[in-house]
Amino acid sequence: MAVGLYVGIWAEFLPHAFYTSFPGFGRHWISDSGAWDEHLIRDVGSLYLALTAISVAGIIARTATPGVMAGLAWTVFGVLHFGYHLTHLTGSATDIAGIIISLGISAILGVILVIAPPRPPRG
């Protein structure tokens, strides 16, 4: 959820800074991939904010269903995003390792949410 907020807010509300500076910490993963496109960057921000919203719903819900749905959404996005980046590696060895690790963890966390045993109802 923290990743969704971090990426979503930055991309949605400061798209050019996101394009030139993501993921932060002196790294530049987006601008190395192609031309500036504000629409695309804001779409990414909106997507991450939507994933965060369903994740929050899953946390506060009284049933497991919203959490499983959030996990499914994160899994589909995470696996496809991870797959793209595995076949389009760019940047330094540090950047490549960071991309593979961060996107791999994101995809795995989605899968865990889908297969995790349901929690007992709150009473």
Task: Express each pLDDT in 34-79 by its tens digit.
Answer: 888 898 899 999 999 999 999 999 889 878 888 899 999 999 999 9
CB 32 within 8 A of CB 90: yes
Task: Express each pLDDT in 69-109 by its tens digit.
Answer: 999 999 999 999 999 999 999 889 999 999 999 999 999 99
Looking at residue 116, what is its pLDDT?
A: 80
CA 92 from centre of chain: 21
pTM of the model: 0.75
